[in-house]
Amino acid sequence: MRALVIDDSRAMRRIVGGILRGFGYETIDAGNGQEALDALAEHGPVELACIDWNMPVMDGLTFVNRVREQPDLRGITLMMVTTESEHGHIVRALAAGAHEYVIKPFTADAIRDKLDLLGLLPMEETV
């Protein structure tokens, strides 16, 4: 399975990507929403996208909206991974089409629990 890790922080991409690779994912990095759209155009759809909210060029919410406008990307599971933890932000993201919402700071176990709920853990990782 492939995952797109979208965050303007290289450190955060490294952390999230490392967790996902530990679960058996192949990961692709993007530094903002536009880079992520470019990556999808180049590599094709992925199973999962982990999306930061606040990024330069194109933020995470705009990326979610853009993905949801494209029928060929409808199969991607969108998981916000962000410091924006106010209720209004969570509602806006889920209304736009995000499937899950993880608030930083997180642990690998928290990511695994979300993936398990979404049915996106490889069989040997399912809890």
By the criterion CB under 8 A, which residues form the site for other proteins? 8-12, 14-15, 18, 53-56, 82-86, 88, 103-107
Report the alpha-carbon distance of residue 53 to residue 62 in Å, rounded. Answer: 9
Shortest spacing between CB 56 and other proteins, in angstroms: 6
Shortest spacing between CB 39 and other proteins, in angstroms: 20
Shortest spacing between CB 11 and other proteins, in angstroms: 4
Of the pair 54, 126, the CB lying nearest other proteins is at 54
- Burial code of 22-44, b = ≥16 C-beta within 10 A, e = fewer? ebebebbbbbbbbbbbebbeeee
Shortest spacing between CB 122 and other proteins, in angstroms: 23
Of the pair 75, 88, the CB lying nearest other proteins is at 88
Q: Which amino acid is residue 31, in one-letter code?
A: G
Task: Report which secondary-structure segment, H or E, holds 15.
Answer: helix 10-22
Beta-carbon contacts of residue 39 (< 8 Å; ≥ 6 apart): 4, 28, 30
Of the pair 31, 115, the CB lying nearest other proteins is at 31
Concatenated DSSP letters of 77-88: EEEEEES--SHH
Of the pair 22, 44, the CB lying nearest other proteins is at 22
